[in-house]
A and B are shown apart, each in its own frame.
Chain A
Amino acid sequence: MTPTLSLKDIRKSFGGVTAIQNFSLDLYPGEIVALVGDNGAGKSTLIKIVSGVHRPTSGDIALDGTSVSFSDASAARSHGIEVVYQDLALADEQPVYMNMFLGRELTRKPFGLLDNTRMRTETQSLVDQLDVRIPSATSTIRDLSGGQRQGIAIARATHWASKLILLDEPTAALGVAETAKVEELVASLKERNLAILIISHSLDQVFRLSDRICVLRRGEQVGVRKTAETDKNEIIAMITGVHDQ
């Protein structure tokens, strides 16, 4: 099977500082891979490289076997890659449906005016499918809970991503019940045959959600393990670099 995303020997340096090097990873459709590591290990840099914000200093990125190079985030988006940020990136005063279509609003012929009706109905059916419970597609984001908001952010990514979703600590700002709901949502995305790369600080969450775990330490890839074949002690040892307890 061709991997959805294939990273080979990715290296990124900012001036003299190397943020990440020797990174290689294949992601397959319907697979959730967790990216773990201490602060400053290079997780966010990697997400930014895949989402087109940074360009790698060297190395190859391939989507469905075809080598790609993104000039900016829009280019990555047009290739079917979506990012869910930990700080949500939603416009609080706007209705849910406008956020769902932010920057990609639907218009109607002949005057090119906004097609609010279609954006509302598409939003409603999407949140219903994903079981994100909100009062209505016309609700203002500000009136929603943190879990509902993250639900909207993930639903938006799902709507636009045809290949890959990057989740950057999606539950960092959420409570226990809301976290459970968002995890359920993330797990349900596997059925859509999307590849998912998730950054998380919670090892419990990583073990609940992921198929494989990729560990970074100080900008280097320490290893990749199948979640079913490893345990927390091994992963913690890899993260910290302390092998002999």
Chain B
Amino acid sequence: MTKAINTIRSLDLQRSVIYFGFLGIFLFFAITLHDDGFLTSRNLTNIVLQTAPATIMAIGLVFALSAGEIDLSFGSVVAVAALSAAIAMQNGPIIYGVMAGLGAGIVIGAFNGVLVAYLRLPSFLVTLATMGLFAGIARTMTDLRSIPVLNDTFTGIFGSGKLFGVPSLVIWTIVAVAIGHIIYRNTRFGAHVLAVGDNARAAQVSGIKVPHVRLMVLTLCGATAGLAGLLYAGRLQAAKYTLGESDLMTVIAAVIVGGTALNGGKGSIIGALLGSLMMGMLNNGLILMGLQVSDQMIVRGLIILLAVAISLRETRR
């Protein structure tokens, strides 16, 4: 019995808001949009495919927020990473593209991390600045032109391919969530991240290397944004400076709605996955409802506001 309860706890089922919210929105669209094809497996798969990059970035952000830091720059990192990968693959093999994309993400993340961890600049301001910095760099990299990605292996692995009938983007999502969840819940690093975000002084006097943890979570954010950039490039078979531009609000909302505290010490990877899927359903459902883009923005903004308010009430207790 106790064991069962602990298992349930480890799955974060106690953070009930996201589960009810997720189910509620799903049921609402399932009923009202039944005749518009919301429930078709094709449409549902589409939602997962479309949310894959956001879900992966949400994993990075859960770590950053849990350690008491934030990353606002990941949207720009997506563009830089995707463009780097596309440029590297114009004259080189796929591995150059993967390394360029992931490498760009990791280097930018580490750059943020060093400024935050060792110079003790607030991550909010550092990443606000680097968000602009790298958005500009993404624009100058190709003079606003988009670069096609013609490598079939690459677009297969990171985009439209399938393994045993399962779309590769679904596999990326599942693997990333599983690894993220295990690191977050079941490793010393995960425990240290939570401790640093919860009480940095307590962590420090307990022998945890606080600056190292801060550097690592921001580097991880960069790495997940780099992977997200590869997934965008693979799915769209092109890279452009606009990639990731609109992900900032979606990802932050997904993470907060998923039960991660804005001020650190508490969070959930599974919750972030559900939060991200919920954002995807909202997008999808509002389009199927035939709302205009402006109306979609208003409705989505209001729903996010509501969901975030409810989740924050719960995380604050």
Contact = CB atoms under 8 A, between A and B. Distances in A.
Question: Do A and B come together as binding partners?
Answer: yes
B261 interface: yes
A50 B208 CA distance: 20
Contacts of B207: 73-74, 77, 103-104
**Most chain-A Cβ atoms within 10 A of its Cβ — which of B182, B199, B203, B265?**
B199
B265 A89 contact: no
Q: Is the interface of B mostly helix, strand, loop or mixed?
A: helix
A89 B188 contact: no
A92 interface: yes
A175 interface: no
Interface string B11-32: 0000000000000000000000
Given A77-B207, A114-B188, A138-B6, A91 B182 contact: no
Main secondary structure of the interface of A (DSSP, over half): loop
Interface in B166-225: 182, 185-188, 190-192, 194-195, 198-199, 201-203, 205-208
A90 interface: yes
Contacts, number: 69
Interface stretch (A22-30, A105-113, A176-184, A220-228): A105-113
B223 to A, nearest CB: 20
B195 A92 contact: no
A92 B195 CA distance: 9
Contact of B192 (A85, A88, A90, A103): A103
Contacts of A98: 191, 194-195
Contact of B194 (A88, A94, A113): A94
A94 B265 CA distance: 8
Contact of A90 (B190, B202, B266): B202
Contact of A91 (B6, B186, B199, B317): B199
B230 to A, nearest CB: 27
B198 A92 contact: yes
A71 B193 CA distance: 25
Contacts of B191: 94, 98, 102, 105, 114
Contact of B182 (A85, A88, A113): A113
Interface string A158-197: 0000000000000000000000000000000000000000
A234 interface: no
A104 B187 contact: no
Interface in A4-37: none
A105 B188 CA distance: 6
Best-buried of A98, A105, A116 by chain B (most CB within 10 Å): A105
A107 B9 CA distance: 20
B180 to A, nearest CB: 14
Contacts of B203: 91, 102-103
Nearest to A143: B317
B198 A94 contact: yes
Interface of A: 73-74, 77, 83, 85, 88-94, 98, 102-105, 107, 112-114, 116, 138, 142
16 contacts: A88-B202, A89-B206, A91-B198, A93-B194, A93-B198, A93-B266, A94-B195, A94-B198, A98-B195, A102-B208, A103-B192, A103-B195, A103-B208, A114-B190, A114-B191, A142-B317
Given A92-B199, A94-B195, A103-B206, 17 more contacts: A85-B205, A90-B199, A93-B194, A93-B261, A93-B265, A98-B194, A102-B203, A103-B203, A103-B207, A104-B206, A105-B188, A107-B188, A113-B187, A114-B185, A114-B187, A114-B190, A142-B317
